[in-house]
């Protein structure tokens, strides 16, 4: 989680630098979008920007709240965990393990 926050901080600095360069010739929203596109074109955090572009825009346009960011990160981790659990349960079932037994193996309630 701290890693994501460090990435966001670095990204904010990169985007802010680009915005400052373009701010004299563009409206703020256009400057921010141009900055993000520039980072993608230069292969800077491409995957992160493609996946989290809306969060980055929100962070730049609104007051960024650490507690909110941490809650979002926790929820994303829970969703990823649930998805992995479903995939594991399905793989066990697909290999012929009865659902009840698969749940026991995974430590899930019946």
Q: Got the DSSP string for 47-95?
A: HHHHHHHHHHHHHHHS---HHHHHHHHHHHHHHHHHHHHHHHHHHHHHT
Q: What is the mean pLDDT of the chain?
A: 77
93 falls in which pLDDT band (50, 70, 90)?
confident
Q: Which residues are CB-neighbours of 88 under 8 A, at least 6 positions away?
A: 106
Which of the given ranges, 4-13, 27-36, 55-64, has the highest pLDDT on average? 27-36
Q: Report if pTM > 0.75.
A: no
pLDDT digits (tens, 9 = 90+) for 51-87: 777 776 776 666 556 677 777 778 888 888 888 888 8
């Amino acid at each position: 989680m701290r890693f994501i926050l460090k990435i966001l901080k670095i990204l904010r600095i990169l985007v802010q630098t680009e915005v400052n360069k373009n701010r004299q010739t563009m409206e703020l929203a256009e400057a921010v979008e141009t900055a993000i596109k520039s980072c993608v074109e230069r292969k800077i955090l491409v995957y992160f920007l493609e996946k989290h572009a809306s969060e980055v825009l929100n962070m730049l346009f609104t007051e960024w709240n650490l507690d909110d960011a941490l809650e979002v990160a926790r929820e994303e981790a829970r969703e990823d965990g649930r998805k992995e659990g479903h995939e594991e349960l399905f793989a066990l079932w697909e290999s012929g393990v009865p659902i009840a037994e698969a749940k026991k193996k995974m430590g899930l309630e019946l």
